[in-house]
Chain A
Amino acid sequence: MEFLSQTYVALRGPTGAPQTPSDTIGRLSDRLSPATLLADRRAAVLALKGLSRDCKHDVGDLALPGLLEVLSNDAEVDADIGKAVLETLQILCDAEEGDAASKELGFKHTDYVLANEKATHTLFALLGDQNFYTRFATLQYLSTLLQNRRQLVQGYFLKAPTGTGSVVSVLEDKREIIRNEAISMVQALISQSPDIQKVLAFEGAFEKLFNIVMQEGGIEGGAVSSGALACVDGLLRFNSSNQSYFRETPLPPVLCSLLLFPPNLQLRDPAPQEFALQFWDAQKQTNAALAVGIMGMLIGSKGNSAQEASAFTRCLVEIALASNAPTPLKTQALRLLPSNLSFPLSELTLTPYMPVPETNGEEWDRLEPASALDVLVELALHGEYNGLEGGKRIKDELELRTAAVAVFENFVRKEETRQAIVQAMLPSDVAGQSGMPPMTPLLHALTAPPNTVSTLDPASVTSTHLATLLFSHLLRSSSRVKSLARLITPSPVSALPDQNAGTFFVPADGPPPAPPPDVADDDEPPQTLLQILSENLSLSFLSRSRASTSDRESREWDRIVVGYLCLLSQWLWEDPQSVREFLDAGGLGVLVEPINQTTEVDTIVPALCAFLLGICYEFDREPGEITRATIYPILNRLGVDTLIGRMSRLREDERFKAVGPDAIVLPYPTVSYLQPSLRAEAEDEGEVWFDWAFVDFWKSNYYTVQRGFSTEPDQLSSSASGQNAEATMLIASLRDVIRNQSQEIENLQRKVKELSASNGDEVASLKAEVSSLSAKLLQSEEKQKDVEKEQEDLLVLLDEVTTKRKKDKARLREAGHEVSEDEADDDGSDE
């Protein structure tokens, strides 16, 4: 201390006059020159350090060149002066703390320090110093510089002769504080610089970082593990060269092991319980999320071996579907599954777990094994752990369920898969017995009639809504699947609330509860799925308009209606057969009413109704009771402008606008200002309205529908254009021809029938006539014979008479009587 005060006295000068700080700093700066003694320089640096906080500007202006000089000359030699100068520079360049001016100064000083590469190279050289304070302060200072001017430092680093080696060696430092500081410095250093990422990987940074993670206890290892894993992530992300190097190392399976998942698990072997059931805290969750993120990145990038990808995919699937991992981690795992999912979900058997009630998550029940696909659908429909928390609609929980829906969407991307799934919902006619169609959980949730008796259960609304999302993924733009789906005739689901509430069945619980034995209405043909949906829609509309419902409940009705409408829109699109069936089921009336009644609050339901009505009109191309000509006047009465206006309001609605490809869960209640009485019941309650697929569908097709409103009933579809229009025209005309021809054929056939019928009669009568005639002929022939005989007899008689007469005449002549001669010549020709 005496030394210091002496220095001060010396500096103050003999006059004793008050000094300005800049005078002092100027003098101290002079003392930094190499000409002074090392001890003096050290004292000067310490003094400047003391002043630097309060007089950042002056110290920077006057002392910075000298300090840098000291840094490069003395820091290596004398640890004390090294520490002091590094700390002073740290204060001068700090742009984190203080007011705006101080931050500005921090950047200015940083720029001065980084004006050339010398200081940076000195710093990287100092990293090699074993002295604790030198190393530590250097790391801190480098972090600061990187934070202020990252790219500049990175550029110098690549040219530094000893850069990489010393950076990697500090990662190996046994002293924890230094190692931790090194991790955070490396994180900044590798950021967005593929070259640095590669050179560090080359120097063995992966091994060092994984060593740190293992020493810290894996993902249980607190913030240090998390920093090291973040570094690994930084080295790999967007860097294909490092990814292929990383795959060469023995490290990828370690990622699985970190999560306690055996990397060599065969597909048929179950995952061990110590993996599925772990104790979780926030820090472990962060660390696990980093490991899961790296796995997801490696699955997604090309060039990975099939074995590695399948181990990682399996691990992610297990985390998401059959573990007690925190919900956000499960969501992350599902989202990281690649979109061209080739993993055999239906072949993998999982063992889901359920928390034992009242044990605070410490005891778990093992459920029956089920296929991963079933568990996935179950998760989407009912939420984690069989809908334990399904009614609360926590945002995280909804994120997980919608992520499951998205995985399902990717899984059914191939048309064959969709066909197979829908086919399985049809009644099977194996061995001639076409008994009850199978009731899958998806169908059950989809067809469950809305509870119109008591208040609506939010859990069942969500599951019906998510079921409509799942089912539309199956149907979307596949006419073959749509026509298969038309054949689905689900067994009736009891509307009784006590049967629905709470009895979510799990595939694991064996087959779904047997449908109620055939009730009396056996004579009615079973309802098709489409009919059930339109009926449920109509029921929901009725309950929605009940006056007694609260704002909150009517919002739930809106949600369920939106679910049905979205599914139906996608189903009926480009499918005249389904339109016909929907219209025959009374769909038209259901749609028209809500379009007419609108309130300020209610914009999306009328919009969707108008949209669906437009689709019905557009694709009402099958002959039937309700034709385009029937709908057209209704459209006109509603007003085409009104319809378009209703539709356009959907695009303005926050619930529609806020939906993105990865963000379909919205905070509850979205657009709250319209309904101030709505308030979230739980702290982070969320809600789902639309999925991205529908938003996309709407955006690509709403215009077609709008144009369709104003086409005449006999006009061609407005959606057709170009070559397509020609084809449609051709098809239409061919259809006409066919229709005419078939009609003609029908007529002709009728005629043939008539003719053949009348012909038969005629033949019979003719036959009868012939027989009667031949009988008559026979008779008359006989008569004739008799007559002839008689005639002969008569002739004989006549002859006799004539002979007798001749004799008599002769006798008379003999007797002398006059006898006419001519008579004798006539030979009896007259009497």
Chain B
Amino acid sequence: MAGITWHYVLKFIITGDAAVGKSSLLIRLTDQRFLLNPDPTLGVEFGSKLITIPEENKIIKLQCWDTAGTESFRSITRSYYRGAAGCLLVYDVTSRKSFTNARSWLADVREHADPHLTCILVGNKVDLCDADAGAKRREVSTEEAELWAQEEGLLFVEASAKSGQGVEDAFVKAASDILSKIRRGVFDDNRSPGVKLSKPHTNLTMETGAVKQRCCS
């Protein structure tokens, strides 16, 4: 409890086609539960979580903005790229189309986001293609996605918001990557809008100590 509760605050956005499970990933991360019938996200919702990066021995506060994948909200979603440190680009492994569209989402990210933004490609819904007979057919193979991720310099993970498999892993991977960039000095604190040290660089310091304790609950 004592001392600093987190070392860095990282802003993440989750993007990708409609209905690939962006909101579900976020809720799985923050609440450890699965939404059976989520409504399509209108605008953007917010969630946050503390994660630990063991190799760096650092505690990270992830602030995630869940964006709307529907085309009509795309221009709004673009407004978020610039301020983010990390981006989860999500597609659905049972939908070829969502994977193809990931290219255009990536183009958006490249166009609007900070060049040093860490982007991780997340293949969601792997639970649907477990060995059971009658399961939905996988339309994007792991190898193909991995290959594309390598070509584009993205991190890659497959996950399931329903079972929870790979979800935290995706965020941890992305966060460690950002941390290593910070260590290498790619970001400096003033230039990346998505990364904040725990010490607020504002002058709102009057209650800092108290705030730290409060927020870890």
Complex partner residue of A248 from B43, B63, B83, B203, CB under 8 angstroms:
B63
- The docked-state distance in angstroms from the alpha carbon of A152 to that of B80 is 21
B44 in contact with A198 (CB, 8 Å): yes
- Residues A250 and B208 in contact in the complex (CB < 8 Å), given A214-B203, A245-B63, A305-B217: yes
Cβ contact within 8 Å between B203 and A253: no
Report the stretch among B45-53, B88-96, B125-133, B183-191 that lies at the interface. B45-53
Closest residue of chain A to B111 (Cβ to Cβ) is: A161
Which one, B46, B61, B80, contacts A242 given CB within 8 A?
A: B46
Residue in A195, A214, A257, A305 whose beta carbon sits within 8 Å of that of B44 in the complex:
A195
Interface residues contributed by chain B, number (CB under 8 Å): 33
When C-beta atoms are compared, the residue in chain B nearest to A250 turns out to be: B211
Within B69-114, which residues are at the interface with A (CB < 8 Å)? Answer: 73, 75-76, 78-80, 82-83, 112
A257 touches B214 (CB 8 A): no
| Complex contact A159–B75 (CB within 8 A) | yes
With A159-B75, A263-B210 as known contacts, state yes or no: A210 contacts B46, CB within 8 Å: no
Cα distance A400–B208 in the bound complex, in angstroms: 35
* Closest Cβ–Cβ distance, residue A229 to chain B (whole Å): 14
Task: Given A164-B82, A263-B207, check contact A245 B46 (CB 8 Å).
Answer: yes
Q: Nearest Cβ in chain B — how far from A504, in angstroms?
A: 39
CA–CA, A164 to B210, complex, Å?
31
Contact (Cβ within 8 A) A254 B214: no
A203 CB–B CB distance under 8 Å: yes
Q: How far is the CA of A264 from the CA of B80 in the complex (A)?
A: 34
In the docked arrangement, what's the CA distance between A455 and B1, Å? 66
B201-217 interface bits toward A, Cβ cutoff 8 Å, 1 = contact, 0 = none: 01110111011101101
Given A198-B44, A241-B44, A308-B214, A158–B80 Cβ distance below 8 Å?
Answer: no
Q: Which residues of chain B are near A214, meaning CB under 8 Å?
A: 203-204
Q: Which of A260-313 contact B (CB under 8 A)?
A: 263-264, 305, 307-308
A436 interfacial contact with B, CB 8 Å: no
A285 to chain B, nearest CB (A): 22
- CB-CB under 8 A from A263, the residues of chain B are 207, 210
B210 near A264 with CB under 8 A, answer yes
Question: Is B46 within 8 A of A257, CB to CB?
Answer: no
Partner of A164, one of B11, B79, B215: B79
Chain A hits for B54, CB < 8 A: none
B11, B203, B204: the one contacting A251 at CB < 8 Å is B204
Residues of B within 8 A of A203 (CB): 82-83, 193
Contact partners of B63 in chain A: CB under 8 A: 245, 248
Assess whether A253 is in contact with B202, with CB atoms less than 8 Å apart: no
Q: How far is the CA of A390 from the CA of B208 in the complex (A)?
A: 43
A250–B204 contact, CB under 8 A? yes
Give the Cβ gap from A158 to chain B, nearest Cβ, in Å. Answer: 5
- Docked Cα-Cα span, A251 to B80, in Å, equals 22
Q: Nearest-CB distance from A552 to chain B (Å)?
A: 53
Q: Answer whether A210 and B204 are a contact pair too, CB < 8 Å, given A202-B65, A248-B63, A253-B211.
A: yes
* Chain B residues with CB under 8 A of A215: 203
| Most chain A CB inside 10 Å of its own CB: which residue of B76, B78, B204, B217 | B204
Contact with B206, one of A159, A161, A207, A254 (Cβ below 8 angstroms)? A254
Q: Are B214 and A305 in contact (CB under 8 A)?
A: yes
Residue among B46, B78, B79, B210 with the highest chain A CB neighbour number at 10 A? B79
Which residues from chain A contact B207 at a C-beta distance below 8 Å? 250, 253-254, 257, 263-264
A219 to chain B, nearest CB (A): 14
**CB-nearest residue of chain A to B212:** A250
Which of A158, A207, A244, A264 interacts with B76 by CB under 8 Å?
A158
Chain A hits for B79, CB < 8 A:
158, 163-164, 199, 202
Q: Convert A172-215 into 0s and 1s, putting 1 for each residue whose CB lies closer than 8 angstroms to a CB of B.
A: 00000000000000000000001100110011100100110011
Q: In the docked arrangement, what's the CA distance between A584 and B130, Å?
A: 82
A308 contacts across to B, CB distance below 8 A: 214
A507 at the interface (CB under 8 A from B): no
A199 to B43, CA, bound (A): 10
| Interchain CA distance A209-B46 in the complex, whole Å | 20
Task: Verify B43–A244 contact, CB threshold 8 A.
Answer: no
Q: Which A residues are in CB contact (< 8 Å) with B210?
A: 253, 263-264
Which residues of B are found within 8 Å of A369, using beta-carbon distances?
Answer: none
- In the complex with contacts A211-B204, A307-B214, A204-B193 CB distance below 8 A: yes
A165 contacts B by Cβ under 8 Å: yes
- Rounded to whole angstroms, the CA-CA distance of A195 and B41 in the bound complex is 12
Task: Report B48 CB to chain A, min CB distance, Å.
Answer: 5
A198 touches B208 (CB 8 A): no
Cross-chain contact A199 with B76 (CB below 8 angstroms):
yes
- For residue A254, which residues in chain B have a CB less than 8 angstroms away from its CB? 204, 206-207
Task: Please name all residues of chain A whose beta carbon is closer than 8 Å to the beta carbon of B208 when the two chains form the complex.
Answer: 250
Whether B46 contacts A207 by the Cβ 8 Å rule is no
Name the residue of chain A whose CB is nearest to the CB of B9. Answer: A248
B200 within 8 A of A: yes
- Report chain A residues within 8 Å CB of B11: 202
Chain A positions 304-352 with a Cβ under 8 Å from a chain B Cβ: 305, 307-308
Contact with B along A524-556 (1 / 0, CB 8 A): 000000000000000000000000000000000
**Pairs A–B under 8 Å by Cβ, sample size 17:** A159-B75, A164-B82, A195-B76, A198-B65, A202-B65, A202-B80, A211-B202, A241-B44, A241-B45, A244-B47, A248-B46, A248-B61, A248-B63, A250-B200, A251-B204, A253-B207, A257-B207
Residues of B within 8 A of A (CB): 11, 43-48, 61, 63, 65, 73, 75-76, 78-80, 82-83, 112, 193, 200, 202-204, 206-208, 210-212, 214-215, 217
Give 20 A-B pairs besides A159-B75, A204-B83, A245-B48 with Cβ atoms closer than 8 angstroms.
Answer: A158-B75, A158-B79, A165-B82, A165-B83, A199-B80, A202-B11, A202-B79, A207-B202, A211-B204, A214-B204, A241-B46, A244-B47, A244-B48, A245-B63, A248-B48, A250-B208, A254-B204, A254-B207, A264-B210, A305-B217
A-B CB proximity, top 3 nearest: A250-B211, A159-B75, A199-B79
